[in-house]
Amino acid sequence: MIERAMKRSGASAAKITTVKSAVALSVILAALILPQIVHAAAGASGGAEWLPMYIPVIIGGAVLGFKWGLAVGVLSPIVSYLITSAAGAPMPALLRLPYMIVELGIFAAVSGAFSAAVVKRKSLAFVAVALAFVLGRGAFLLTAYMFESVSALSFGMAFSQVKSGLHGVILQLFLAPAVIALIASALSSEKAR
């Protein structure tokens, strides 16, 4: 989305990379800070229930595109874990980290794959987010199933986490597409000037 808008305005490759890097960093920071806010407001179970790291990653993927989105999705839980571990309260927990890397990477890559299409048809933001959730949460469950014999996270625990996160999924199925469509509209109006 951003790259397309910047190319239309004649931006250089270096400027596009700089802007995309700044947006990627902002998304990663949002994926670090938003869970802290939710945990402070809703308690320890707030993260599993409202999935606060997911929304910046999904929006970031849609705005940045497939490759950059995938990078943001993979890096967000890693950066969050490293920074919060240094502070003494790792988030996500080490047990959940590999699964979140897979899940968030898929979320952002899927929403990023729709980036150009959403610019043309804003309603596709809803399809992108819904598909990202289905594939991402499905990958989480599949990964938990595949590694159940060597991990403390069983398939049953993973399924329970998916069920407890339904509030967050429903909220984000409405919120994320609306934000993505607004950003697409803003970028489209910028190119019209």
Q: Give the chain's domains with CATH numbers.
A: 2-192 (1.10.1760)
Average pLDDT, the chain: 94
pLDDT, residue 188, reads 83
Is residue 45 very low, low, confident or very high in pLDDT (cuts 50, 70, 90)?
confident
pLDDT, residue 56, reads 97
- Triad 48, 50, 56: Cα angle to 5°: 105
The answer to whether 6 and 16 are in contact (CB under 8 A) is yes
pLDDT, residue 70, reads 97
On the question of pLDDT at 157 being above 80, the answer is yes
| Rounded CA separation 29/109 (Å) | 18
Mean pLDDT, to the nearest integer, of 158-170?
Answer: 95
Is residue 189 very low, low, confident or very high in pLDDT (cuts 50, 70, 90)?
confident
> H-type helices in the chain, by residue range?
2-8, 13-42, 46-50, 54-64, 66-86, 97-113, 115-120, 124-146, 155-164, 166-192
Looking at the chain, the whole-number percentage of residues with pLDDT higher than 70 is 98
Q: What is the pTM of this model?
A: 0.93
pLDDT, residue 69, reads 96
| Rounded CA separation 115/24 (Å) | 15
On the question of pLDDT at 28 being above 60, the answer is yes
Is residue 151 very low, low, confident or very high in pLDDT (cuts 50, 70, 90)?
very high
On the question of pLDDT at 191 being above 60, the answer is no
Is residue 190 very low, low, confident or very high in pLDDT (cuts 50, 70, 90)?
low
Query: pLDDT per residue over 54-95, tens digit each?
Result: 999 999 999 999 999 999 999 999 999 999 999 998 999 999
| Rounded CA separation 124/132 (Å) | 12
Q: CB within 8 A of 117, min separation 6: which ones?
A: 124, 128
Mean pLDDT, to the nearest integer, of 48-55?
Answer: 94
